Amino acid sequence: MSLSAEYKTILDNAIRALHERTFFAQYPEHPSPKIYGETADEDGRSKFQAALNNKFEELDQHRAEKWEGCEESPYTQEPLGITYPSFSVETLIERASDSFEAWRKASPEDRAAVLIDSLEKIKGRFFEIAYATMHTTGQGYMMAFQASGPHASDRALEAIAAGYEELKRFPEEVLWDKPMGKYNLRLHKSWKAMPKGIAVIIGCSTFPTWNSVPGIYASLITGNPVIIKPHPGAVIPIAIVTSEISKSLQEAGFPVDVCQLAVDTYEKMITRDLAEHPDVKIIDYTGNSEFGTYLEHLPGKSVFTEKTGVNSVILESVENIDKVAQNLAFSIALYSGQMCTAPQNLFVPKDGIRTPEEQVSFDDFAQKLVDSINDLVDNPKAGPFVLGCIQNRKTCDRIENAEKLDGKVWLKSRTIENPQFKNARISTPVILEVDENNQDLFSKELFGPIALLIKTNDTRASVALARKIAEEHGAITCGAYTTDPDMKEYISDQMSLAATPVSFNLVGSIYVNQHAGFSDFHVTGGNPAGNASFTNPEYVIKRFTWVGFREPV
């Protein structure tokens, strides 16, 4: 498959967007999802429902050794009943190895053409993927559509563009001519970008496509065969993506085993066996810090991780305290705090928050935040759809236990009814006031809709705590509210030393949780929240090596 004029334009636009960092979306979500077809939503829902209680047979992974699947919908709390072809680790490795030769010898242009073609195919299944994401992760419908559809595909295209640019950074060959006085020394020099080998992508349960496709496409564009190991509880969204990659590979004449799905169950997981296999050279991982740190220390691997982060919000002075409380309430409630970018620790000075009209006390701000959360979750047109569902039952236990922690409970968690799914697993946010000396409590991630209000001596003390937590335990985001230019510069400087990006003074419809493809780097790789950042150059160049050849002319 050659890089057609249409696909070349898509690639050129994506590369330009990488450099300009302004808004760009090859796969937009606005002005309406109907841009993907008037009946696309209904068709996608029907296709997802047809997949339930059936074998998923689109992968072209033949001679299945078993058929396995154990997904459950957080909305119905019933099994999906979908099974997938399952293979031993040795079979997966053998097939990936057999496909390596053809894929590594393909030109960057041919690889880019195949991969962009797969994204164009995936575009036609955005709504099917949205319902699949809803009923595995518990995300609300609109988030599931945006995150697993347009946003994920833009992140995938971003990885293609970054990889392609690095592969084309240097010339393939040159005549090297060095003057030596009476004669010139002339060499013919050439270089090959050699992929490192088999890549394994280890998916997570909350964002099975958005967090996985950057690594998938970064490894594929650089010539590496990929084995995708999804979380057992969230397979169907990435299975659909994998099937479309397989179709594009097959149509272009490449082995479908260049990209395989490796399904397992909770009872017998194959993650460690895959990761430790000597033929696996690249690993991408999203998940808890303990397993991520283990992967980072495996010898002979290029490992890219996104792990646990403890995200802070620093409040000093604001223009409108009510708008700030509403913005933070939404950020805390969005997908029930199950986002790696969700705020957890809100640092507020003991003397309160300065506004143009008055000094808002700590207690008054706490009450405003509680009222804003209640207003949101009790709104029948907003609450159930912003909260979504709790993906993992263990998160429900964590929420329940949070109310027993050493602190004042400002807001207890409760459940509300989803009008479409009576059995939906829902827990509203819990808000606690915690003493600033209780660092053991707020220095660890409390995954889920749990937020801590921490009273500090002053704003500089807030910054010091936020920086320390980021440096020692990791942070992916930080929010800050200040109308003082000097304080803004101080916060920027201190948090940059902790390799933590800061979003200042967010109100309205932009939230600290959100990162935009082609503009925001997701995770910096500079603190314990993860060692990689998509998509920066390091994210792709560590997946291949340059090898040179010389010969006298």
Angstrom CA distances, 356 to 32, 236, 482, 483, 487, stand at 38, 51, 12, 10, 16
Pair 289, 400 in one domain? no
Cβ(198)–Cβ(100) below 8 Å: yes
> Quick count: other Cβ atoms within 10 Å of Cβ 182?
5
Cβ(150)–Cβ(127) below 8 Å: no
What integer pLDDT is reported at residue 477 of this predicted model? 97
Local structure of 43: helix, strand or coil: helix
Pair 235, 354 in one domain? no
Domain-located, residue 519: no
Local structure of 68: helix, strand or coil: strand
- What average pLDDT does the structure give for the chain? 96
In angstroms, rounded to a whole number, what is the distance separating the alpha carbons of residues 496 and 119? 35
Pair 433, 495 in one domain? yes
At 40, which amino acid appears?
A
Inform me whether the pLDDT recorded for 413 exceeds 70. Answer: yes
Residue 472: CB partners within 8 Å, gap ≥ 6? 443, 528
Angle 263-268-273 (CA atoms, 0-180°, nearest 5)? Answer: 75
Q: Would you state the structure tokens that stand for residue 547, as one six-digit string?
A: 């090898």
Residue matched to tokens 């099974």:
83
What integer pLDDT is reported at residue 79 of this predicted model? 98
Local structure of 505: helix, strand or coil: coil
What integer pLDDT is reported at residue 38 of this predicted model? 86
The band of 53, judged by pLDDT with boundaries at 50, 70 and 90, is: very high
Pair 337, 298 in one domain? no
Pair 424, 299 in one domain? no
How do residues 458-491 score in pLDDT, each as one tens digit? 999 999 999 999 999 999 999 999 999 999 999 9
Local structure of 355: helix, strand or coil: coil
Q: Which residue range forms the structural domain that includes residue 359? A: 312-504
In angstroms, rounded to a whole number, what is the distance separating the alpha carbons of residues 114 and 135? 29
In angstroms, rounded to a whole number, what is the distance separating the alpha carbons of residues 328 and 346? 9
Number of domains into which the chain is organized: 2
More confident residue, 545 or 404: 545
What integer pLDDT is reported at residue 33 of this predicted model? 75
Pair 36, 182 in one domain? yes
How do residues 511-543 score in pLDDT, each as one tens digit? 999 999 999 999 999 999 999 999 999 999 999
Domain-located, residue 539: no
| Section 357-369 average pLDDT | 97
> Quick count: other Cβ atoms within 10 Å of Cβ 76?
15
DSSP H/E element including 226: strand 226-229
Pair 237, 265 in one domain? yes
Inform me whether the pLDDT recorded for 2 exceeds 90. Answer: no
Domain-located, residue 224: yes
**Domain termination site, one of 258, 281, 307:** 307
Angstrom CA distances, 400 to 403, 413, 428, stand at 6, 8, 11
Domain-located, residue 203: yes
Torsion 135-151-96-245 (CA) sign: positive
Pair 159, 187 in one domain? yes
Predicted model pTM: 0.96
Q: Would you state the structure tokens that stand for residue 77, as one six-digit string?
A: 């709390």
How do residues 242-270 score in pLDDT, each as one tens digit? 999 999 999 999 999 999 999 999 999 99
In angstroms, rounded to a whole number, what is the distance separating the alpha carbons of residues 528 and 306? 9
Pair 460, 403 in one domain? yes
Pair 438, 333 in one domain? yes
CATH number, domain containing residue 198: 3.40.605.10
What integer pLDDT is reported at residue 1 of this predicted model? 67
Domain-located, residue 55: yes
Phi-psi region of 540 (alpha: psi -120 to 50; beta: other; left: phi over 0): alpha
At 309, which amino acid appears?
G
Domain-located, residue 538: no
Pair 293, 325 in one domain? no
In angstroms, rounded to a whole number, what is the distance separating the alpha carbons of residues 397 and 408? 19
Phi, psi (5° rounding) for residue 550? -130, 145
Inform me whether the pLDDT recorded for 342 exceeds 70. Answer: yes
How do residues 418-438 score in pLDDT, each as one tens digit? 999 999 999 999 999 999 999
Pair 101, 170 in one domain? yes
